[in-house]
Chains A and B, each alone.
Chain A
Amino acid sequence: RKEVEQDPGPFNVPEGATVAFNCTYSNSASQSFFWYRQDCRKEPKLLMSVYSSGNEDGRFTAQLNRASQYISLLIRDSKLSDSATYLCVVKLGGGFKTIFGAGTRLFVKA
């Protein structure tokens, strides 16, 4: 079993739609959680950190469920520019070990 698992997609949604991605992690010692965005043939860029209480940044909402060991990303009112691959990233506590999910591809259509 992979340490961080994501549905690879692709998710094809129309502009204005709401879309949600889930990510599960296997190591209960995981301490920090992030969502990154990666455009085609570009480097990953930090989208947002994920906090236990949940957090929101504009149209993006991230949630963490430690008991079930999953994190989620909700995108409201999708834009064409949201088309990208979204990477779930989990950092284990204490050291430098960080696990990247393989990513979920999103296509937003006009």
Chain B
Amino acid sequence: NAGVTQTPKFQVLKTGQSMTLQCAQDMNHNSMYWYRQDPGMGLRLIYYSASEGTTDKGEVPNGYNVSRLNKREFSLRLESAAPSQTSVYFCASRGQKNYGYTFGSGTRLTVV
């Protein structure tokens, strides 16, 4: 089982450029999430999708958009990258509310 697959693994952007982070899961999970992780801080939720066709803002949604393309795929878009968005991004999915997450391997994004 692949679990949660994220692409790309690494990316360097210039300020103002746009990009989309892709995420797919093969576990038939309903909910999917995008987190960012910065040094000294816990993972912070950017957006989540409770089920196919729905998306909601998390703790730090500004500067990001998401699309739940189907049950498997949940993408994160940066329309105009800023240096403050330099971070490690993790996609995750969860089968049931009180179960743990399965994370993708992460995307290391640097905005210069």
Contact = CB atoms under 8 A, between A and B. Distances in A.
A2 B59 CA distance: 14
A102 B42 contact: yes
Interface stretch (A11-19, A36-44, A65-73): A36-44
A46 interface: yes
Nearest to B91: A43
Contacts, number: 47
Contacts of A34: 100
A101 B40 CA distance: 9
Interface size class of A (residues with CB under 8 A): 20 to 34
A100 B104 CA distance: 16
Interface string B74-103: 000000000000000010000001111111
B98 A91 contact: yes
B69 interface: no
A99 B103 contact: no
A37 B99 CA distance: 16
Q: Which one of A34, A89, A98, A101 has the greatest number of beta carbons of chain B within 10 Å? A: A98
Contact of B100 (A36, A97, A99, A102): A36
B42 A100 contact: yes
Interface of B: 31, 35, 40-45, 48, 50, 56, 90, 97-106
20 contacts: A2-B42, A34-B100, A36-B100, A43-B90, A43-B104, A43-B106, A44-B43, A44-B103, A46-B102, A49-B100, A96-B48, A96-B56, A98-B45, A98-B101, A100-B35, A100-B42, A100-B43, A100-B44, A102-B42, A103-B42
